[in-house]
Structure formats: structure tokens, C-alpha cells
Structure 1
Amino acid sequence: MTFTYDEVVWFSKTFGLFYLIGFSAIVLVYVYWPSNRATFERAAMAIIHDEDKPCR
């Protein structure tokens, strides 16, 4: 079975599109999952709670 260049390009673009859509959906589900909220809030506040003093 021989593939032409156009068929390979079409397949790679289609597969890439669905791959990125699926990966984006997985990331969004992970970010907005209720049990991950505390982890993200702790990470966001970690920078604020550090002492901001000049080095001696």
C-alpha cells in the first residue's frame, strides 16, 4: 500500500488536531477538578508568603 504525500499530510494534520483537542480537554478537566483546588491555591500563595527582604 503506497501513500501519497497529500494523504500523509492530511492524516497528520487530522490526527494532530484531534490529539491537541483531546490533550486540552484532559488538561482542563485536571485543572478544574475540585480536589486539585487546594494544591493550586497553595502554589499561588507560596510566592506571596515568602519574606521579601534584601540580601545582606
Structure 2
Amino acid sequence: KYKRPSVLVFDKISILDKTLTKIIDLLQENAKEVTDTLKYVIVFVTSEGSVPKRMR
């Protein structure tokens, strides 16, 4: 209808970093794969923890 990709937002993603680091890796891998297709856009929101370092 709007001819724009959907946006999937993960807020406070640093919560997962404490116990589910593999999930973060899988989400980031998926985000990289769909970037070229523009089917949807994934946004990770965090302001603390080691997640920003992992995302580089």
C-alpha cells in the first residue's frame, strides 16, 4: 500500500546480551541479509552494555 519496507524495532536489546548472545548474533545476521532486499528494516535500540561493541 505505501511501497515502503516494514520496520522491526528491538528496544532494550542489551537485556538479551546477558543471557542470549546467540539470539543477538542471529538477529544481526538476518538484518544484514534483508538490507539488500528491503523487505523490512531492523532497528536495534540500546544505550548500555556490550551490545554496541558487538554491532560494529
Larger radius of gyration: 1
Which protein has the bigger strand share? 2
- Between Structure 1 and Structure 2, the one with more helix by share is 1
Higher relative contact order (CA 8 A, sep 6+): 2
